[in-house]
Chain A
Amino acid sequence: MKGNGRIIEYALSTLARRKFKNFSIAVVFSALIAVLSSILFLTHAYKTETLKLLDNSPEIILQNMSGGRHELIPTEYIKTLSGIAGVGQITPRYWGYYYDSLTSANYTLMAVDENMRDIQLIDGRMPQTDTECAVGRGVADLRQAGLKDDFFLITGAELSVNLKIVGIFTANSAILTNDLVVMTKDSLIKFFNMPADKATDITVEVNNPAEVSMVARKIRRAFPNSRPILKNELIRTYDNIFNWRGGIVLTMFFGAIAAFMIFVWDKATGINAQERREIGILKAIGWETADVLTLKFWEGAVVATGSFLTGLILAYVHVFYFNAQFLAPVLKGWSVLFPRFQPMPYIDIYQIFVLFFLTVVPYVAASVVPSWKAAISDPDAVMR
């Protein structure tokens, strides 16, 4: 081992001798990285979950518009739709939102249909009669209800439904099933008081993915009042929304990063007498300014890498093994019913790279001048 290698070794031994001095920086640094990466990991997990869910969703969702607002759609449209070339399966969907004043949460009520076979039940089965329902785990937990328990839904119109929970489920993605209540089509129509010849929306499969936008154009021409929502557009929109969320949170963290830089600057500037003396001795016995700078670089590199890895691991464990428990209260405001889903563990190099750029680069930049100040001490200082 030559020059540089021995300086690295010496840097390690210096850090070991001054464990506590670097401890505070390492703790603050790791904490900052842990929080930042928890947020990024979680947002990214959300994004992936949502996009994964969209994978199974139909190419086109057709909504009816009236006065610029979403209206129920006549099921008779289906006949015309099936006449359009390239159109595959067409399915009317029945669903709606329900505000539950008991638990102050919004549920999504939906009628069973064949596509729901995708949803894996964790317990029980799908509703078969008009007095049965299946609910998402989030709903079950909120209501503190289990299988075979009763489930009341009340509306202002003095209509109330009493259902029995026959299934509690989760899906590939917990995000959309969490607040879900599934019942039969008839009981849903009755509950929402929907006209018999109308559905909430209509899904349209397209046989050839390349023809989606062409089919959408034809649909619009056939029903000028309708709004075809393309899956690709949805994906793009969700992507954008999640980027926004991540970005907003990050912007709030710029203050924290700036504060951290000042902290690093301060810590690195205020080297104690013993350390100053040591650098003086090194200079006196023949270390060059550049050698001390190299030493300082490696000290910083070890602290930064160590804290970075610690922070990442903490965030990883926090998000993927503890369901981001510490972040949940902060993020809860984001969605109506915050799903307690278990994000799939993943490692994304791009995100790690972004985190590195956001934390290690400021750290390095903040410690340049202080290290230099330490390195230029007079070699003859220790003779006095």
Chain B
Amino acid sequence: MDAIIRTEGVSKVFNAGLADEIKAISAVSIEISRGQITVLKGPSGSGKTTLLGLIGCMSRPTEGKIFVEGKDVAKLPERFLTDVRRKTFGFIFQHFNLIRGLTVMENVMLPLYPTDIDGGQMERRMEEILDKLDLTAKRAVRVEKLSGGQQQRVAIARAMINEPAVILADEPTAHLDTKLSEDFLNIVTSLNTEGKTIVIATHDPLIYEKPYIDNIIEMRDGAVKEAALL
């Protein structure tokens, strides 16, 4: 199975050279296979979010290489990093990070605003995704009026609007009860069956104990403890 993302000896140091210098992750080498569901597992502070951000082209590693679809992005200037991110990744953040005051539709389409995509096409995509996530009835509602589960579905819809190959989720069930967590997993598995690669950072057993998880990468103190369970 080919790796859509591969890292080689990736480290990230925060506040380098300062008194509060901290090495969040060091020498991480992992592979994420195309079309699989991978879980990044580990206790709080182990570097899951940092790693997720790095492979999602949110920032650059201090050291090492990161290959996304075969291209090394570790040294790309931010402008191009953003471009790769826009084309490849959809993010679902721990705190949904929706923009209050905007409607569901606006929040979902927001990532495409600065792109050259045609307005009609953008709206068609949005309608389709809202329909799939059962949000059509709420399309014109402001996001702060929605329940937690609905807000997360909006966040998922927004992550999907750019038709990414990879969906990255950081602690997606942290704020959800069991029922909603199961709902989330149902959505994720259905996306996976459509061919999307999924990476979830979590320490919620509800997720990583699911039988359909293809791959678990366990982290501790900024390093990979045990890779490639299957």
A and B touch in the complex (CB under 8 A): yes
**Which residues from chain A sit less than 8 Å from chain B, CB to CB?**
1-3, 6-7, 10, 13, 17, 274, 278, 281-282, 284-291, 294, 378-380, 382-384
In the complex the two chains form, what is the Cα distance from A178 to B99 in whole Å?
A: 63
Q: Restricting to B64-100, which residues have a CB under 8 Å from any CB of A? A: 78-79, 82-83, 85-86, 91, 93-95, 97-100
Contact of B49 among A2, A13, A378, A383 (CB under 8 A): A383
B79 touches A288 (CB 8 A): yes
B58 touches A379 (CB 8 A): yes
In the complex the two chains form, what is the Cα distance from A10 to B105 in whole Å?
A: 13
A379 touches B59 (CB 8 A): yes
A383 touches B79 (CB 8 A): no
Q: Restricting to B150-191, which residues have a CB under 8 Å from any CB of A? A: 158, 162, 170
* Closest Cβ neighbor of A5 among chain B residues: B119
In the complex the two chains form, what is the Cα distance from A383 to B95 in whole Å?
A: 8
Given A3-B116, A17-B101, A383-B53, answer yes or no on A282-B110 (Cβ-Cβ < 8 Å): yes
In the complex the two chains form, what is the Cα distance from A158 to B170 in whole Å?
A: 101
Contact of A286 among B86, B99, B106, B170 (CB under 8 A): B86
**8 tightest Cβ-Cβ pairs between the two chains A and B:** A380-B58, A291-B114, A286-B86, A6-B113, A380-B53, A285-B111, A286-B111, A17-B101
B115 touches A3 (CB 8 A): yes
A284 touches B93 (CB 8 A): yes
Given A383-B53, A383-B94, answer yes or no on A286-B85 (Cβ-Cβ < 8 Å): yes
Given A382-B97, A383-B170, answer yes or no on A287-B114 (Cβ-Cβ < 8 Å): yes
* Chain B hits for A378, CB < 8 A: 58-59
- CB<8 Å pairs between A and B, sample of 20: A2-B119, A3-B113, A3-B114, A6-B113, A7-B113, A7-B114, A13-B102, A281-B97, A281-B98, A281-B99, A285-B97, A285-B110, A285-B111, A286-B82, A286-B162, A287-B113, A290-B79, A379-B85, A382-B95, A383-B53
- Asked whether B194 is an interface residue with its Cβ less than 8 Å from the other chain, the reply is no
In the complex the two chains form, what is the Cα distance from A278 to B106 in whole Å?
A: 14
Q: How far is the CB of B161 from chain A (nearest CB, A)?
A: 9
In the complex the two chains form, what is the Cα distance from A10 to B110 in whole Å?
A: 9
- Asked whether B20 is an interface residue with its Cβ less than 8 Å from the other chain, the reply is no
* Chain A hits for B170, CB < 8 A: 383
Besides A13-B102, A286-B162, A382-B97, 11 other A-B contacts (C-beta < 8 A): A7-B114, A17-B101, A285-B91, A285-B158, A289-B82, A291-B114, A379-B82, A379-B85, A380-B59, A382-B93, A384-B49
In the complex the two chains form, what is the Cα distance from A288 to B117 in whole Å?
A: 16
A383 touches B93 (CB 8 A): yes
In the complex the two chains form, what is the Cα distance from A287 to B52 in whole Å?
A: 18
Contact of B97 among A3, A7, A13, A284 (CB under 8 A): A284
Classify the secondary structure of A's interface with B.
helix
- Asked whether B118 is an interface residue with its Cβ less than 8 Å from the other chain, the reply is yes
Contact of B58 among A3, A7, A383 (CB under 8 A): A383
* Chain B hits for A278, CB < 8 A: 99
* Chain A hits for B114, CB < 8 A: 3, 6-7, 286-288, 291, 294
* Chain B hits for A1, CB < 8 A: 119
Q: How far is the CB of A294 from chain B (nearest CB, A)?
A: 8
* Chain A hits for B113, CB < 8 A: 3, 6-7, 10, 287, 291
* Chain B hits for A17, CB < 8 A: 101-102
In the complex the two chains form, what is the Cα distance from A112 to B68 in whole Å?
A: 95
In the complex the two chains form, what is the Cα distance from A188 to B58 in whole Å?
A: 90
* Chain B hits for A294, CB < 8 A: 114
* Chain A hits for B59, CB < 8 A: 378-380
Q: How far is the CB of B173 from chain A (nearest CB, A)?
A: 16
* Closest Cβ neighbor of A6 among chain B residues: B113
In the complex the two chains form, what is the Cα distance from A291 to B100 in whole Å?
A: 20
In the complex the two chains form, what is the Cα distance from A282 to B113 in whole Å?
A: 10
* Chain A hits for B86, CB < 8 A: 286
Q: How far is the CB of B47 from chain A (nearest CB, A)?
A: 12
* Chain B hits for A287, CB < 8 A: 82, 111, 113-114
* Chain B hits for A382, CB < 8 A: 93, 95, 97
* Closest Cβ neighbor of B106 among chain A residues: A13
* Chain A hits for B52, CB < 8 A: 383
* Chain A hits for B117, CB < 8 A: 2
In the complex the two chains form, what is the Cα distance from A96 to B170 in whole Å?
A: 91
In the complex the two chains form, what is the Cα distance from A290 to B114 in whole Å?
A: 10
In the complex the two chains form, what is the Cα distance from A294 to B114 in whole Å?
A: 10
In the complex the two chains form, what is the Cα distance from A287 to B110 in whole Å?
A: 9
In the complex the two chains form, what is the Cα distance from A291 to B79 in whole Å?
A: 10
Q: How far is the CB of A311 from chain B (nearest CB, A)?
A: 29
In the complex the two chains form, what is the Cα distance from A278 to B49 in whole Å?
A: 20
In the complex the two chains form, what is the Cα distance from A382 to B95 in whole Å?
A: 8
* Closest Cβ neighbor of A285 among chain B residues: B111
* Closest Cβ neighbor of B53 among chain A residues: A380
* Chain B hits for A289, CB < 8 A: 78-79, 82
In the complex the two chains form, what is the Cα distance from A284 to B113 in whole Å?
A: 14
Q: Which of A7, A287, A290, A291 has the most CB of B within 10 A?
A: A287
* Closest Cβ neighbor of A378 among chain B residues: B59
* Chain A hits for B78, CB < 8 A: 288-289, 379
* Closest Cβ neighbor of B98 among chain A residues: A281
